[in-house]
Amino acid sequence: MPDGKSPLPAASAPAPDAIARRLRIHGRVQGVWYRGSATAEAARLGLSGWVRNRSDGTVEALAIGPLVKVETFVAWAHRGPENARVSRVEVFEAELERLTGFEQRPTV
């Protein structure tokens, strides 16, 4: 580019073997570093997606990646970080989205 700046990377299409799962995590999952820990776990696994608190006290996440890695993330979600007390995790199939990385989103 003429100004010497690189363009931001475009969101790439999910891999052909990618799946998407939306999770709703119930229990004591807010105020215990759940979102930050989920972001770190997703990054470790190389997943795309997001995590956010919900005003009803749950945490919601979208995980996109290969089946085995998404299943590993779902298994982690049942435990969460040390101070979390997960009582239930609902898992739903979701549409694949073109996302880059995994991020924390604002509460809804």
Active site residue 35: yes
Residue tagged active-site, from 24, 53, 54, 88: 53
Active site residue 83: no
Dist CA 29 CA 32 (whole Å): 6
Q: Sign of the CA dihedral 98, 101, 106, 108?
A: positive
Dist CA 43 CA 49 (whole Å): 10
Residue tagged active-site, from 21, 22, 24, 35: 35
What amino acid is encoded at 100 in this protein? T
Query: What tokens does 107 get?
Result: 């509460």
Looking at the annotation, which residues are catalytic? 35, 53
